[in-house]
Amino acid sequence: MVILLFSTLLRLPIYIFATPLLNLLGLEHELAVLAGKFALLSIPELFSLAVTVPASKFLQSQSKVGALACIGFVVLLLHAFFLWLFIYVFNLDINGGALVYNITGWANAIAQFVYVIVWCKDGWTGWSLSALNEIWAFVRLSIASAVILCLETWYMMSIIVLTGHLKDAVIVVGSLLICKDLQRAVADLAWLLGITMVLNSVQPQNGENCNVRVMETPFLHDFSGDHLQLIGPDDDYLPVKGLKEWWVVFWIETVKLWEIGGPISFNVLCQYGTYSITVAFCGHLSVVELFVISVAQNVIGTLSFGFMLGMRCALETLCGQAFRAWQIHMLGIYTQRSMVILLFSKFLLLPIYIFATPLLKFLGQEHEMVVLAGKFAMLSIPELYSLAVTIPTSKILQAQSKVGVVAWIGFVDLLLHALLLWLFIHVFNLSTDGAALTFNITGWVDAIAQFVYVVVWCKDGWTGWSLSALNEI
């Protein structure tokens, strides 16, 4: 909480000077003024994250996720009610939207914090000055994750800024951000989430105390010579004594970060690039096709993708634990277990795709648009199932730092996606049906490529199919 509070203070100038910043990026003055006003009014909600994020990680580490789900659901209902009240009854426009974010943000924070204090007596023993001990080491462990998440997610901000320069920018940007795009939400939280991801590394040792487990050596590769003099008996860096040593340590850590974070970030860019390219291709057809793709991806897709993010985080934690404990064979077991769970989850998500048309009608969209969007959602169901393979296999590869192959597969898949879009849309004139078909093909190409690599080239982690995957499912 202390680190996040300080980080929030560092981010305040972005919100305070949002209007001149957006003007500098070339947005229209009128839009920049309104956006800057909204940013200023939503500052209280920003500070609520300094409580919400640590409290949620605290509860997740103890598997008390039911409370999180209930609190989140109640906050969602409360958010919808206040939006209706402030915008449609009190006519507060975007001012009401910012006010609602502040209210529900702090309602969520207070609810989680109260639950931690009252019902988590073992984990919460009261405020303590011990929280300030070794705080810089905690920050240092968090910075790498923060940078990686920023690289993964901030690209969406650049897309919005660039589309703001196009003709009819309001239509284009509005299409990208229908119902508050999930990527925008994640990008706004990237720094805070990155700092707190270190909490996922808290594991029991020797059945007694819980400590943050770090790498046994600061090096990814074998270094020799003067570099080894920087390592102490505890396999951590010794205090630097000059600018030269500081630069050596900085360079080593930078190389480590980019060797792992660079390919991961590039793969994520390729994944989201498939959606961006699809929007671009369909946008050349007409405004209707552009709207259909935007609604299908940002409304229907977000409803299911948000659920999948939670499932992915669970697998990340388990694979990280297994790899750090040198139980490499468990990576394959966890991957198979995750495939089973995700496959079952897909069946639970199917009604969202099957009944997409009436769902979008209920949300107030135009009939002609929702019929086409519903058809696109139905046709893209096979791509939904490919995620049951893609997500687990990508995590088993990342857990072993085999991120280069993930990046290459993502890049080839992106090129194939662009080629098939051109073929189906502009050559065969299949319109949005061709876009859905392209998603199905490239989605399964990505899934099969990663799965084949895991089975063939990851013998330590993948030892074959096993019924053990069904244990403790």
**pLDDT confidence of residue 218:** 44
Same domain (yes/no): 293, 149: no
**Averaged over 63-70, what is the pLDDT?**
84
**Which of 79, 98, 132 is at the close of a domain?**
132
Question: ∠355-357-358 over CA atoms, to 5°?
Answer: 75
**Averaged over 73-81, what is the pLDDT?**
93
Same domain (yes/no): 140, 120: no
CB-based contact 82:104 (threshold 8 Å): yes
**pLDDT confidence of residue 168:** 60
pLDDT band at 186 (very low <50, low <70, confident <90, very high): very low
Which own/partner contact pairs does 234-238 have at CB distance under 8 Å and 24+ positions apart?
none
Statement: residue 442 has pLDDT above 60: yes
Query: Is 213 among the domain residues?
Result: no
Query: Is 191 among the domain residues?
Result: yes
CB-based contact 45:10 (threshold 8 Å): no
Same domain (yes/no): 410, 444: yes
Q: 198 is in which domain, residue-wise?
A: 134-202
Same domain (yes/no): 283, 430: yes
pLDDT band at 174 (very low <50, low <70, confident <90, very high): low
CB-based contact 218:162 (threshold 8 Å): no
Same domain (yes/no): 305, 180: no
**pLDDT confidence of residue 143:** 61
Query: Is 433 among the domain residues?
Result: yes
pLDDT band at 210 (very low <50, low <70, confident <90, very high): very low
**Averaged over 46-70, what is the pLDDT?**
87
Same domain (yes/no): 320, 418: yes
pLDDT band at 30 (very low <50, low <70, confident <90, very high): confident
Same domain (yes/no): 169, 127: no
pLDDT above 70 coverage of the chain, percent = 76
Same domain (yes/no): 126, 156: no
Statement: residue 49 has pLDDT above 50: yes
**List of residues 6+ apart from 247 with CB closer than 8 A:** none
Mean pLDDT of the chain: 78
Query: Is 233 among the domain residues?
Result: no
Query: Is 216 among the domain residues?
Result: no
Same domain (yes/no): 19, 98: yes
Same domain (yes/no): 463, 386: yes
**pLDDT confidence of residue 444:** 96
Whole-structure pTM over 0.85, yes or no? Answer: no
Which own/partner contact pairs does 344-352 have at CB distance under 8 Å and 24+ positions apart?
345/307, 345/308, 345/311, 345/388, 346/384, 346/385, 346/387, 346/388, 349/303, 349/304, 349/307, 349/384, 350/381, 350/384, 352/300, 352/303, 352/304, 352/377
The residue with tokens 């990155």 is 194
pLDDT above 90 coverage of the chain, percent = 26
Type of residue numbered 425: I
Pairing of strands 210-212, 202-204: antiparallel
Domain count, the chain: 3
Statement: residue 366 has pLDDT above 60: yes
Same domain (yes/no): 29, 99: yes
**pLDDT confidence of residue 299:** 73
Q: pLDDT by residue (tens digit) across 97-136?
A: 999 999 999 999 999 999 999 988 888 888 888 877 777 7
**Which of 114, 132, 150 is at the close of a domain?**
132
Q: pLDDT by residue (tens digit) across 281-333?
A: 888 888 788 778 877 877 777 667 667 766 666 677 777 677 767 777 788 88
Same domain (yes/no): 67, 148: no
Query: Is 1 among the domain residues?
Result: yes
**Which of 85, 111, 132 is at the close of a domain?**
132
Query: Is 241 among the domain residues?
Result: no
**Range of 38-52, 131-145, 214-228, 269-283 with top mean pLDDT:** 38-52
**List of residues 6+ apart from 314 with CB closer than 8 A:** 338
Query: Is 232 among the domain residues?
Result: no
